[in-house]
Every structure is written in C-alpha cells, then in structure tokens.
Amino acid sequence: MLLTLDLDSEVPIYQQIRDRVVEAIADGELAEGSALPSTRQLAADLAINFHTVNKAYDLLRQEGIIRINRKSGAVIRRDPGSGPPAPGYADDWQERLRTLLAEATVHGVPGEEVLQRCGGVLTSFHDQRTTKEPSV
C-alpha cells in the first residue's frame, strides 16, 4: 500500500494515516483480511515514531475497521461488503456531511456540481471494487 504524508498539514499524522487506510479500503485496494504493515515497519517507512502509527491503528480499531492480534498484527475487519452500518451511524455521519456541503454551497459551488462530484467519488469507489471481482 502506497502512503504519502504531508508533514506540513494541519491534519495530525495519525489522522492522515487513518484517512488513507479508509480511502484504500473504499477504493478496494485493501479488502477484508488484508494485513497492514507492523507499526514499527510503517513508522520506519514513513520516518516517524511508531507510537504515532500505533495511535492511527488504535483509532481504526476503535472504529471497528481493523482488528489487531498479537499474532497476526493489524488486519482489515471491515470493507464495503461487510454488512450494514451500526445503528445511528449514518445519522451521525450526515451531520458532518451537512457541514461540508454547507461550506461548498456558501462558496458558490452549484448544487448540481456538488451532487456530480459526490456521484463521481462514489463511482470511483465502485469501479475499483468491480474491477477487482470480474470473474465471480
């Protein structure tokens, strides 16, 4: 898995790692059962402290997205095909969506363009997934 960080960003490093993993799962690059590199290994590759990677993995674990065993390390637990969301998740998520869409609207992005971009992003997720399972 390719992972690039922006050390000058306001977004914390552990949050960036979490976001990139989530996006990689949505893209289909990481499927349920896929193993993530060890915290020390990834920290070495990214030239950061392994505690920061540990925090990112712990965040993903709290979200139920990965599972961590002492034996098998960090493994993807959830992908788009892992079943319906937890009760109440979608409503909480929509509050954050609302803030983001409000910002674009205030800045003058037309509603049609907002919807087109939403659809485009979702299609990019779906395309990745279907091209991964062509022979089922």
Positions touching DNA (CB under 7 A) are 12-15, 38-41, 48-52, 54-55, 57, 68-71, 73-74
With CB under 5 to 8 Å by kind, the binding choice for 66 among a second copy, DNA, none is none
Q: Which helix (H) or strand (E) holds 73?
A: strand 73-76
Strand partners of residue 35: 75
One-letter amino acid for residue 35 of the chain: A
Q: Is 35 in the site for a second copy (CB under 8 A)?
A: no
Contact between 49 and 84 under an 8 Å Cβ cutoff? The reply is: no
Q: Are 14 and 21 in contact (CB under 8 A)?
A: no
- Closest distance between a second copy and the C-beta of residue 63, in Å? 8
User: Judged by CB under 8 A, which of 106, 131, 134, 135 binds a second copy?
Assistant: 106
Residue 35 CA: distances (Å) to CA of 77, 99, 115: 10, 34, 34
* Contact residues for a second copy, defined by CB under 8 A: 19, 22-23, 25-27, 63, 65, 78-80, 82-86, 89-90, 93-94, 96-109, 111, 113-115, 117-119, 121-122, 125-126
